[in-house]
Amino acid sequence: MNRIEERQQTEHNLQGRSIWVERHRPATVGDIKGQRAVVDRLKAYANNRTFPHLLLAGPPGTGKTTAALALAKDVFGDDYRRNMLEMNASDERKLESIRTKVKSFARTAPIPGTSFKVIFLDEADALTPDAQGALRRIMEQNAATCRFILSCNYSSKIIEPIQSRCAIFRFRPIADDQVREMIVSVAEREGINLHPEAADAIVHVSLGDLRKAITSLQVAASLDKDVTRELIYETTATAPPEELHGFFLACQQDGFQPARRRLRDLLDRFGLAGTDLVNQLHRELGNVAFLDELQKLKVTEAMAETDYRMVEGGGETLQLDAMTAKICSLI
Ligand SMILES: Nc1ncnc2c1ncn2[C@@H]1O[C@H](COP(=O)(O)OP(=O)(O)OP(=O)(O)O)[C@@H](O)[C@H]1O
Ligand SMILES: [Mg+2]
Protein backbone atom coordinates (compact mmCIF):
# COMPACT_ATOMS: atom_id res chain seq x y z
CA MET A 1 0.00 0.00 0.00
CA ASN A 2 1.44 3.40 -0.85
CA ARG A 3 1.20 6.48 1.30
CA ILE A 4 -1.84 7.86 -0.47
CA GLU A 5 -3.78 4.63 -0.13
CA GLU A 6 -2.64 4.36 3.44
CA ARG A 7 -3.92 7.81 4.19
CA GLN A 8 -7.17 7.33 2.32
CA GLN A 9 -7.74 4.08 4.10
CA THR A 10 -7.15 5.64 7.48
CA GLU A 11 -9.44 8.48 6.51
CA HIS A 12 -12.19 6.16 5.37
CA ASN A 13 -12.22 3.15 7.57
CA LEU A 14 -11.47 4.69 10.92
CA GLN A 15 -14.71 6.32 11.83
CA GLY A 16 -13.20 8.15 14.76
CA ARG A 17 -10.22 9.01 12.59
CA SER A 18 -8.06 7.47 15.22
CA ILE A 19 -4.76 8.31 13.56
CA TRP A 20 -3.77 11.63 15.04
CA VAL A 21 -1.70 12.91 12.12
CA GLU A 22 -4.87 12.66 10.03
CA ARG A 23 -7.22 13.98 12.67
CA HIS A 24 -5.05 17.05 13.24
CA ARG A 25 -4.10 17.69 9.63
CA PRO A 26 -4.91 21.35 8.86
CA ALA A 27 -7.92 21.57 6.52
CA THR A 28 -7.19 25.05 5.21
CA VAL A 29 -3.90 26.60 4.09
CA GLY A 30 -4.15 29.28 6.76
CA ASP A 31 -3.77 26.64 9.49
CA ILE A 32 -0.51 25.18 8.16
CA LYS A 33 2.26 25.64 10.73
CA GLY A 34 5.51 27.37 9.87
CA GLN A 35 6.35 27.68 6.16
CA ARG A 36 5.47 31.37 6.25
CA ALA A 37 6.59 32.17 2.71
CA VAL A 38 4.78 29.12 1.35
CA VAL A 39 1.56 29.80 3.24
CA ASP A 40 1.38 33.45 2.16
CA ARG A 41 1.61 32.51 -1.51
CA LEU A 42 -0.86 29.64 -1.15
CA LYS A 43 -3.36 31.95 0.54
CA ALA A 44 -3.19 34.25 -2.45
CA TYR A 45 -4.00 31.30 -4.72
CA ALA A 46 -6.88 30.31 -2.46
CA ASN A 47 -8.30 33.85 -2.59
CA ASN A 48 -8.08 33.98 -6.38
CA ARG A 49 -9.48 30.46 -6.57
CA THR A 50 -6.88 29.43 -9.12
CA PHE A 51 -3.23 28.41 -9.27
CA PRO A 52 -0.53 27.29 -11.74
CA HIS A 53 1.25 23.92 -11.74
CA LEU A 54 3.00 23.54 -8.39
CA LEU A 55 6.14 21.76 -7.27
CA LEU A 56 6.28 21.20 -3.51
CA ALA A 57 9.74 20.19 -2.32
CA GLY A 58 11.13 19.47 1.11
CA PRO A 59 11.81 16.94 3.86
CA PRO A 60 9.19 14.43 5.11
CA GLY A 61 6.43 15.47 7.48
CA THR A 62 6.67 19.19 6.84
CA GLY A 63 3.29 19.79 5.20
CA LYS A 64 3.55 19.15 1.45
CA THR A 65 0.63 16.75 1.12
CA THR A 66 -1.24 18.79 3.69
CA ALA A 67 -0.73 21.93 1.59
CA ALA A 68 -1.92 20.24 -1.61
CA LEU A 69 -5.11 18.95 0.03
CA ALA A 70 -5.80 22.18 1.91
CA LEU A 71 -5.34 24.29 -1.20
CA ALA A 72 -7.69 22.08 -3.20
CA LYS A 73 -10.25 22.33 -0.42
CA ASP A 74 -9.91 26.12 -0.20
CA VAL A 75 -10.31 26.47 -3.96
CA PHE A 76 -13.00 23.85 -4.68
CA GLY A 77 -14.85 23.61 -1.37
CA ASP A 78 -15.80 20.50 0.62
CA ASP A 79 -16.39 18.49 -2.53
CA TYR A 80 -12.76 18.96 -3.61
CA ARG A 81 -12.02 15.23 -3.82
CA ARG A 82 -14.19 14.92 -6.91
CA ASN A 83 -11.90 17.41 -8.62
CA MET A 84 -8.69 15.82 -7.54
CA LEU A 85 -6.78 12.75 -8.68
CA GLU A 86 -4.06 11.49 -6.35
CA MET A 87 -1.26 9.27 -7.54
CA ASN A 88 1.96 8.02 -6.08
CA ALA A 89 4.76 8.16 -8.64
CA SER A 90 6.88 5.50 -6.98
CA ASP A 91 3.92 3.14 -7.33
CA GLU A 92 3.03 3.77 -10.93
CA ARG A 93 5.65 1.45 -12.36
CA LYS A 94 4.96 2.40 -15.93
CA LEU A 95 4.30 5.92 -16.95
CA GLU A 96 1.63 4.44 -19.18
CA SER A 97 -0.61 3.93 -16.16
CA ILE A 98 -0.20 7.58 -15.19
CA ARG A 99 -1.04 8.59 -18.73
CA THR A 100 -4.16 6.42 -18.79
CA LYS A 101 -5.40 7.63 -15.42
CA VAL A 102 -4.78 11.27 -16.25
CA LYS A 103 -6.49 10.88 -19.59
CA SER A 104 -9.69 9.40 -18.23
CA PHE A 105 -9.72 11.82 -15.33
CA ALA A 106 -9.20 14.82 -17.60
CA ARG A 107 -12.06 13.71 -19.82
CA THR A 108 -14.77 14.19 -17.20
CA ALA A 109 -15.97 17.73 -16.55
CA PRO A 110 -14.77 19.59 -13.47
CA ILE A 111 -17.38 20.06 -10.72
CA PRO A 112 -19.76 22.94 -11.51
CA GLY A 113 -18.42 26.38 -10.76
CA THR A 114 -14.78 25.40 -11.26
CA SER A 115 -12.70 25.66 -14.38
CA PHE A 116 -10.02 23.05 -13.84
CA LYS A 117 -9.09 19.83 -12.05
CA VAL A 118 -6.08 18.92 -10.00
CA ILE A 119 -3.72 16.01 -10.36
CA PHE A 120 -1.58 15.44 -7.29
CA LEU A 121 1.49 13.35 -7.97
CA ASP A 122 3.28 12.37 -4.77
CA GLU A 123 6.95 11.32 -4.75
CA ALA A 124 7.52 12.71 -8.23
CA ASP A 125 11.28 12.45 -7.68
CA ALA A 126 10.91 8.66 -7.89
CA LEU A 127 10.34 8.99 -11.65
CA THR A 128 13.37 8.50 -13.90
CA PRO A 129 14.37 11.48 -16.07
CA ASP A 130 12.87 9.68 -19.07
CA ALA A 131 9.56 9.18 -17.32
CA GLN A 132 9.66 12.82 -16.26
CA GLY A 133 10.10 13.77 -19.89
CA ALA A 134 6.93 11.87 -20.71
CA LEU A 135 5.19 13.45 -17.72
CA ARG A 136 6.09 16.85 -19.10
CA ARG A 137 4.22 16.03 -22.30
CA ILE A 138 1.24 14.77 -20.31
CA MET A 139 1.23 18.07 -18.43
CA GLU A 140 1.25 19.96 -21.70
CA GLN A 141 -1.48 17.89 -23.33
CA ASN A 142 -3.82 18.47 -20.42
CA ALA A 143 -2.81 22.01 -19.53
CA ALA A 144 -6.18 23.45 -20.53
CA THR A 145 -8.16 21.42 -18.02
CA CYS A 146 -5.71 20.21 -15.39
CA ARG A 147 -3.22 21.66 -12.92
CA PHE A 148 -0.51 19.39 -11.62
CA ILE A 149 0.78 19.48 -8.08
CA LEU A 150 4.01 17.52 -7.78
CA SER A 151 5.50 16.67 -4.42
CA CYS A 152 9.07 15.54 -3.84
CA ASN A 153 11.82 15.46 -1.25
CA TYR A 154 14.54 16.70 -3.61
CA SER A 155 13.70 19.27 -6.27
CA SER A 156 17.13 18.67 -7.84
CA LYS A 157 15.84 15.27 -8.98
CA ILE A 158 13.13 16.93 -11.06
CA ILE A 159 14.16 17.77 -14.62
CA GLU A 160 14.54 21.43 -15.57
CA PRO A 161 11.66 21.59 -18.09
CA ILE A 162 9.21 20.46 -15.39
CA GLN A 163 10.67 22.83 -12.81
CA SER A 164 10.31 25.73 -15.23
CA ARG A 165 6.61 24.91 -15.75
CA CYS A 166 5.85 24.96 -12.03
CA ALA A 167 5.73 27.48 -9.26
CA ILE A 168 8.25 26.00 -6.81
CA PHE A 169 7.57 25.88 -3.08
CA ARG A 170 10.30 24.91 -0.66
CA PHE A 171 9.23 23.39 2.63
CA ARG A 172 11.59 23.59 5.59
CA PRO A 173 11.86 21.48 8.71
CA ILE A 174 9.37 22.87 11.25
CA ALA A 175 11.00 25.10 13.89
CA ASP A 176 11.32 23.59 17.37
CA ASP A 177 8.93 26.02 19.05
CA GLN A 178 6.30 25.29 16.43
CA VAL A 179 6.67 21.54 16.81
CA ARG A 180 6.27 22.07 20.53
CA GLU A 181 3.21 24.27 20.13
CA MET A 182 1.59 21.69 17.85
CA ILE A 183 2.12 18.67 20.08
CA VAL A 184 1.07 20.56 23.18
CA SER A 185 -2.15 21.48 21.43
CA VAL A 186 -2.70 17.94 20.11
CA ALA A 187 -2.11 16.54 23.61
CA GLU A 188 -4.63 18.99 25.03
CA ARG A 189 -7.28 18.11 22.46
CA GLU A 190 -6.68 14.39 22.98
CA GLY A 191 -6.84 14.65 26.75
CA ILE A 192 -3.25 13.58 27.30
CA ASN A 193 -1.12 14.69 30.21
CA LEU A 194 2.07 15.62 28.38
CA HIS A 195 4.91 16.49 30.76
CA PRO A 196 6.90 19.57 29.65
CA GLU A 197 10.13 17.52 29.57
CA ALA A 198 8.34 14.96 27.40
CA ALA A 199 7.38 17.72 24.98
CA ASP A 200 11.06 18.72 24.84
CA ALA A 201 11.98 15.10 24.16
CA ILE A 202 9.52 14.91 21.26
CA VAL A 203 11.01 18.09 19.80
CA HIS A 204 14.46 16.54 20.19
CA VAL A 205 13.62 13.26 18.45
CA SER A 206 11.47 14.61 15.64
CA LEU A 207 14.02 16.99 14.07
CA GLY A 208 11.45 19.28 12.49
CA ASP A 209 9.28 16.43 11.17
CA LEU A 210 5.75 17.10 12.44
CA ARG A 211 4.43 13.74 11.36
CA LYS A 212 7.10 12.07 13.43
CA ALA A 213 6.34 14.36 16.37
CA ILE A 214 2.59 13.67 16.41
CA THR A 215 3.10 9.95 15.81
CA SER A 216 5.60 9.75 18.67
CA LEU A 217 3.05 11.38 20.94
CA GLN A 218 0.31 8.99 19.89
CA VAL A 219 2.45 5.88 20.28
CA ALA A 220 3.52 6.93 23.77
CA ALA A 221 -0.02 7.95 24.75
CA SER A 222 -1.38 4.59 23.64
CA LEU A 223 0.72 3.04 26.41
CA ASP A 224 0.05 5.63 29.08
CA LYS A 225 -2.05 8.80 29.11
CA ASP A 226 0.57 10.27 31.39
CA VAL A 227 3.35 10.90 28.89
CA THR A 228 6.77 11.28 30.47
CA ARG A 229 10.18 12.01 29.02
CA GLU A 230 11.30 8.41 29.62
CA LEU A 231 8.28 7.05 27.79
CA ILE A 232 9.05 9.17 24.73
CA TYR A 233 12.68 8.05 24.56
CA GLU A 234 11.69 4.41 25.05
CA THR A 235 8.95 4.38 22.44
CA THR A 236 10.94 6.29 19.81
CA ALA A 237 14.03 4.09 20.10
CA THR A 238 16.16 7.08 21.00
CA ALA A 239 18.78 7.20 23.72
CA PRO A 240 18.43 10.38 25.80
CA PRO A 241 21.34 12.85 25.61
CA GLU A 242 22.69 12.14 29.12
CA GLU A 243 23.01 8.44 28.33
CA LEU A 244 25.01 9.22 25.20
CA HIS A 245 27.20 11.63 27.15
CA GLY A 246 27.65 8.82 29.68
CA PHE A 247 29.13 6.61 26.99
CA PHE A 248 31.70 9.23 25.95
CA LEU A 249 32.53 9.87 29.59
CA ALA A 250 33.08 6.15 30.19
CA CYS A 251 35.40 6.01 27.17
CA GLN A 252 37.40 8.90 28.57
CA GLN A 253 37.53 7.95 32.24
CA ASP A 254 36.74 4.27 32.77
CA GLY A 255 38.33 2.55 29.79
CA PHE A 256 37.26 -0.01 27.26
CA GLN A 257 35.35 -2.66 29.26
CA PRO A 258 33.05 -0.32 31.20
CA ALA A 259 32.45 1.77 28.05
CA ARG A 260 31.62 -1.38 26.13
CA ARG A 261 29.13 -2.46 28.81
CA ARG A 262 27.44 0.93 28.65
CA LEU A 263 27.10 0.69 24.90
CA ARG A 264 25.59 -2.82 25.10
CA ASP A 265 23.19 -1.59 27.74
CA LEU A 266 22.08 1.33 25.53
CA LEU A 267 21.45 -1.00 22.59
CA ASP A 268 19.35 -3.32 24.73
CA ARG A 269 17.41 -0.77 26.69
CA PHE A 270 16.40 1.43 23.80
CA GLY A 271 16.19 -1.28 21.17
CA LEU A 272 18.67 0.41 18.85
CA ALA A 273 20.37 -0.91 15.75
CA GLY A 274 24.10 -0.27 15.62
CA THR A 275 23.81 2.41 12.95
CA ASP A 276 21.05 4.19 14.96
CA LEU A 277 23.30 4.36 17.96
CA VAL A 278 26.26 5.68 15.99
CA ASN A 279 24.10 8.35 14.42
CA GLN A 280 22.60 9.37 17.74
CA LEU A 281 26.10 9.55 19.27
CA HIS A 282 27.20 11.68 16.37
CA ARG A 283 24.32 14.06 16.78
CA GLU A 284 25.00 14.46 20.49
CA LEU A 285 28.77 14.80 20.22
CA GLY A 286 28.55 18.52 19.49
CA ASN A 287 26.93 19.08 22.90
CA VAL A 288 29.53 17.18 24.92
CA ALA A 289 31.30 19.76 27.09
CA PHE A 290 34.21 17.64 28.31
CA LEU A 291 35.77 17.02 24.89
CA ASP A 292 37.72 19.61 22.93
CA GLU A 293 37.36 20.41 19.24
CA LEU A 294 40.23 18.21 18.07
CA GLN A 295 38.98 15.21 20.04
CA LYS A 296 35.52 15.65 18.54
CA LEU A 297 36.94 15.71 15.03
CA LYS A 298 38.79 12.46 15.57
CA VAL A 299 35.80 10.80 17.24
CA THR A 300 33.60 11.88 14.32
CA GLU A 301 35.98 10.20 11.90
CA ALA A 302 35.92 6.98 13.93
CA MET A 303 32.12 7.01 14.01
CA ALA A 304 31.86 7.66 10.27
CA GLU A 305 34.16 4.72 9.58
CA THR A 306 32.09 2.46 11.82
CA ASP A 307 28.82 3.54 10.26
CA TYR A 308 30.19 2.88 6.79
CA ARG A 309 31.51 -0.55 7.70
CA MET A 310 28.22 -1.60 9.26
CA VAL A 311 26.25 -0.42 6.25
CA GLU A 312 28.63 -2.40 4.06
CA GLY A 313 27.89 -5.51 6.08
CA GLY A 314 30.52 -5.55 8.83
CA GLY A 315 29.33 -7.42 11.94
CA GLU A 316 27.69 -5.06 14.38
CA THR A 317 29.21 -6.32 17.62
CA LEU A 318 32.75 -6.32 16.30
CA GLN A 319 32.41 -2.93 14.64
CA LEU A 320 30.92 -1.27 17.70
CA ASP A 321 33.64 -2.76 19.90
CA ALA A 322 36.26 -1.51 17.48
CA MET A 323 34.69 1.95 17.59
CA THR A 324 34.66 1.94 21.38
CA ALA A 325 38.30 0.87 21.45
CA LYS A 326 39.21 3.61 19.03
CA ILE A 327 37.33 6.31 20.94
CA CYS A 328 38.94 5.15 24.21
CA SER A 329 42.36 5.61 22.64
CA LEU A 330 41.46 9.01 21.18
CA ILE A 331 40.09 10.85 24.20
N1 LIG B 1 3.30 22.47 8.36
C2 LIG B 1 2.43 21.68 9.02
N3 LIG B 1 1.42 22.23 9.75
C4 LIG B 1 0.57 21.45 10.43
N5 LIG B 1 0.63 20.11 10.47
C6 LIG B 1 1.60 19.50 9.76
C7 LIG B 1 2.54 20.27 9.02
N8 LIG B 1 3.41 19.41 8.44
C9 LIG B 1 3.04 18.19 8.81
N10 LIG B 1 1.96 18.23 9.62
C11 LIG B 1 1.32 17.08 10.26
O12 LIG B 1 2.03 15.93 9.84
C13 LIG B 1 1.23 15.10 9.01
C14 LIG B 1 2.01 14.69 7.79
O15 LIG B 1 2.27 15.83 6.98
P16 LIG B 1 2.28 15.77 5.40
O17 LIG B 1 1.56 14.56 4.94
O18 LIG B 1 1.81 17.07 4.87
O19 LIG B 1 3.84 15.60 5.16
P20 LIG B 1 4.64 15.65 3.77
O21 LIG B 1 5.43 16.93 3.77
O22 LIG B 1 3.72 15.41 2.64
O23 LIG B 1 5.67 14.45 3.99
P24 LIG B 1 6.18 13.34 2.93
O25 LIG B 1 7.37 13.94 2.24
O26 LIG B 1 6.60 12.21 3.84
O27 LIG B 1 5.05 13.00 2.04
C28 LIG B 1 -0.03 15.89 8.70
O29 LIG B 1 -1.15 15.05 8.69
C30 LIG B 1 -0.12 16.87 9.85
O31 LIG B 1 -0.80 16.27 10.93
MG1 LIG C 1 3.37 13.71 1.47
CA angle centred on 327, ends 304 and 318, rounded to 5°? 70
Average pLDDT over residues 31-48: 94
Q: Which residues line ligand 1 (CB under 6 A)?
A: 21-22, 24-26, 32-35, 60-66, 153, 174, 210-211, 214
Which class for 181: exposed (0-12), middle (13-18), buried (19 or more C-beta within 10 A)?
A: middle
Spatial distance between the Cα atoms of 303 and 163, rounded to a whole number of angstroms: 38
- Predicted pLDDT at 114: 84
- Predicted pLDDT at 9: 54
Average predicted confidence (pLDDT) for the chain: 91
Average pLDDT over residues 10-32: 77
Protein residue closest via CA to atom 12 of ligand 1: 211
Average pLDDT over residues 219-247: 94
Residue ranges near ligand 2 (ion) with Cβ within 5 Å? 64-65
Average pLDDT over residues 57-63: 96
With contact defined as beta carbons under 8 Å apart, do 33 and 115 qualify?
no
pTM, two decimals, is 0.87
Percent of the chain residues topping a pLDDT of 90: 77
Q: How far is residue 51 CA from its own chain's centroid?
A: 25
Percent of the chain residues topping a pLDDT of 70: 94
Average pLDDT over residues 252-256: 96
| Residue 224, pLDDT above cutoff 50 | yes
More confidently predicted of 4 and 107: 107
Average pLDDT over residues 119-139: 89
Paired sense of beta strands 54-57 and 226-227, if any: unpaired
310 pLDDT tier (thresholds 50, 70, 90)? very high
| Residue 104, pLDDT above cutoff 90 | no
115 pLDDT tier (thresholds 50, 70, 90)? confident
| Residue 205, pLDDT above cutoff 50 | yes
Task: Give the N- to C-terminal CA distance of the chain in Å, as an integer.
Answer: 48
Spatial distance between the Cα atoms of 7 and 315, rounded to a whole number of angstroms: 37
Q: Which of 62, 153, 217 to mutate to test the pocket of ligand 1 (most atoms within 8 A of CB)?
A: 62
CA angle centred on 57, ends 167 and 8, rounded to 5°? 105
| Residue 6, pLDDT above cutoff 80 | no
With contact defined as beta carbons under 8 Å apart, do 55 and 168 qualify?
yes
| Residue 14, pLDDT above cutoff 50 | no
